[in-house]
Amino acid sequence: MNPHGIPYLRFIVPFVAGLAFGAWLDTPLSHLDCGLMIGAALGALLAVQKFAYRLRWVFGAYMHLLLLGFGYFHIVQYKETRLPKHFAPQIQACHYFLGTVYEAPSKGTKMKVPLRVEAIGSSPDSFQAAMGNVMLFLDLSNFSDSIRYGDRLGFQATVCPTEPPKNPYAFDYARYLHFQNIHYQAFVKPDSIFQLSRGNGWLLWQKAYESRERLLGLLQKYFPSTDEYAVASALLVGYTDDLSDDLRTAYAETGSMHALAVSGTHIGMLYVGLMFMIARLRLRGRTGRLLETALVLSAIWAFTFLTGATASVLRASVMFSVYMLGKAFWREASAWNVLPASAFILLMYNPFLLFNVGFQLSYAAVAGMVFFYPRFYKMFPPLSAWLDEPLKVLLIGVSAQLGTLPLSLFYFNQFPVYFWLAGWVVVFVGAVFLWGGAMLVVLDVVSQMLADGLGVLLYQMLLWMNKIIFFIQGIPGGVVRNVWTADWVVFALYACLAFLGAALATRRGKWLGVFAGIMIVLGVYRTRMVLGKQTQQTTVVYYLNKARLMDFFDGDHVVALSDTLSKKQEHFAALANRTARGMREQVGVFYADSAVHKFPNLLIDLPFVQFFNQRMLLLDDVRWATAGNPRPIAVDVLVLSKSPRITIAQCRARFPFKQLVFEASNAAAQIKRWREECEKQGWPYHDVRTQGAWIYPGKR
């Protein structure tokens, strides 16, 4: 691979480094814009100069520095809070807002509506022009279901900055919204929001979202059962809001989740089918190549907007468009130029895409396929066609998994062992359903009888695919779970893949030796980390609104003390921390259970808990502090929950403590009174509602 033939790969490295540095520092540098303009003009002059051979690196180094600075400037200025009329300075005094929905709302336990604010006011008749983005959370209702892209809304609510997670290692929704360029949120009551008008967005996007709604309605007609409709809408339209938790888990644990989002896989299938049909036209010469490119790009972008132009399919469409244009004008477009060129275009449009998980996984998967697939394929002898095609599917899946492995471990903490088995199913069904779904759309207009027949066939196909996916999920040892990966380990693993790739490409053993050396270092680190977790003695009081959950970590064994919670509630609060701390075995105890529970190093006899040498009192009933023997009982930690009507002075007189913990199940007003009393007397406390989970010892 000649580095001079892949300029975009060389240029995108400093640009991405500048973006990453700017996102980390997040500080505007004075006069950087002027410096970049002068630097660009100087770069243009240097480009036409002739340098001595020994100084040939000067221009390249200068351009790399310029791209680094431009990347930094681009991402720092892109942040919406730096808009000249952002509403942040007036947010405390204003509770009335007007704005336009600038993306399609998404639905979960609440309806999430991204709104671009246009005016704010302290009263309905005092609106002033303002700018900024806010995420609205609405209860599910007929009104919230009716909200569409381009709707102009007015609402009354308290808008506040997004908050970081309050439980250790939990999903950082504030960071996720930050890279959606949203930094404020509001929970809006049903009677405090109203619709002013419709159709205020871009006409092209409006038509795209309307097309998606029509396709979803058509799929509901032919796929009556919930799971099959959810998979059909995900495969054809990229709409995943209706996927059940069990279905998501099954596809995730079999490594097939990529099939449930219209993305590069679908665009690739569309491209292959289009090229097969266009090949029948026998187009020749430069004119033929241009016509072929125009036909393919028209079909790809028509599909993109018909399916709602989701972020994943837009990325894939840009990637294939750059490839097709390169092929049209230069015949052979190198994939190592196409990938960074398309990424450069997307990052120019939105630099925050660099931190989008889908963006990272897409490019990592394609890079893995481009590099590893041809080398793996050459290792096999020639096979017959009926064996060769399944082999290609297998090797493509393995190559993509290699490319995404470090990111998958980092983001999802698991590895699907049978991804190769599920891959054969979802690739075949996905390809058939993509073209079958397109035919269904046409036949629904042309012939209802044929459409009904095709709908039954496609429905049965999805029904059996779901059954097979659930079967593969149930095979023992199908998922390696609870793999906690530090961020630096991700870079180390990609370094390993790079050296493994160098060994395959050059057939030199030294690269294999470097690969083995890094793996040994990672193995030693992993061993030390696991051994360290075997001796942990950690107590965690989690943040859980209006509910209680505590974990006692004794090595890799965990005893969870909680209210009756759903599995989803418990996992949302505690799973990430349990995974990070190396949990291997868990036992649950409920507050409602009055029995005495004995474990090695832990005794639970509510309201008292003894964990190693730590004595705790879990007080949620005022009678425990006022009834019985008035003799004081000293404790190390006093945990208050469920808002008992008691003062801290009364607690201290009955149970002298070293540390107070206020759980999030307490009312905010009660916690405020307790905090004021503690601050007046100088008593140590931890408020889980505002400070996040309490951890002892205090390591996170």
Cis peptide before 224, with omega less than 30 degrees from 0? no
Q: Is residue 49 in some structural domain?
A: yes
The phi, psi pair for 137, rounded to 5°, reads: -115, 120
| In contact, 585 and 556? CB cutoff 8 Å | yes
In whole angstroms, give the CA distance from residue 483 to residue 405: 12
Domain boundary among 466, 501, 525: 525
| β-bridge pairing 637-640 and 685-687 | unpaired
Domain that holds residue 494: 487-525
Q: Is residue 532 in some structural domain?
A: no
Supply the pLDDT for residue 326: 76
Q: What is the pLDDT of residues 356-380, one digit of tens each?
A: 888 898 888 888 988 999 999 999 8
Supply the pLDDT for residue 8: 80
Statement to judge: residues 70 and 107 lie in one domain: no
Statement to judge: residues 625 and 686 lie in one domain: yes
Supply the pLDDT for residue 120: 95
Statement to judge: residues 124 and 223 lie in one domain: no
Statement to judge: residues 309 and 216 lie in one domain: yes
Q: Is residue 457 in some structural domain?
A: yes
Statement to judge: residues 291 and 334 lie in one domain: yes
For the record, the structure tokens of 236 come out as: 């054809």
Statement to judge: residues 544 and 670 lie in one domain: yes
| In contact, 167 and 573? CB cutoff 8 Å | yes
* Per-residue CA distances from 461 to 231, 426, 449, 454, 467 (Å): 11, 11, 19, 11, 10
Q: Is residue 596 in some structural domain?
A: yes
Closest by CA position to 78, among listed 342, 359, 348: 348
The total number of structural domains in the chain stands at 5
Q: Is residue 530 in some structural domain?
A: no
Statement to judge: residues 567 and 611 lie in one domain: yes
In whole angstroms, give the CA distance from residue 232 to residue 218: 11
Q: Is residue 363 in some structural domain?
A: yes
Statement to judge: residues 582 and 665 lie in one domain: yes
* Ranges of the chain with pLDDT below 50: 699-700
Statement to judge: residues 444 and 563 lie in one domain: no
Supply the pLDDT for residue 186: 96
In whole angstroms, give the CA distance from residue 3 to residue 23: 28
Supply the pLDDT for residue 699: 45
Statement to judge: residues 190 and 320 lie in one domain: no
Statement to judge: residues 132 and 230 lie in one domain: no
Statement to judge: residues 387 and 434 lie in one domain: yes
Q: What is the pLDDT of residues 6-46, one digit of tens each?
A: 778 888 999 999 999 999 999 999 889 899 999 999 888 87
Q: Is residue 190 in some structural domain?
A: yes
- In the chain, the amino acid numbered 63 is M
Supply the pLDDT for residue 424: 83
Domain boundary among 47, 78, 109: 78
Domain boundary among 179, 201, 223: 201
Which CATH number belongs to the domain containing residue 163 in this structure? 2.40.50.140
Residue with tokens 């180094």: 61
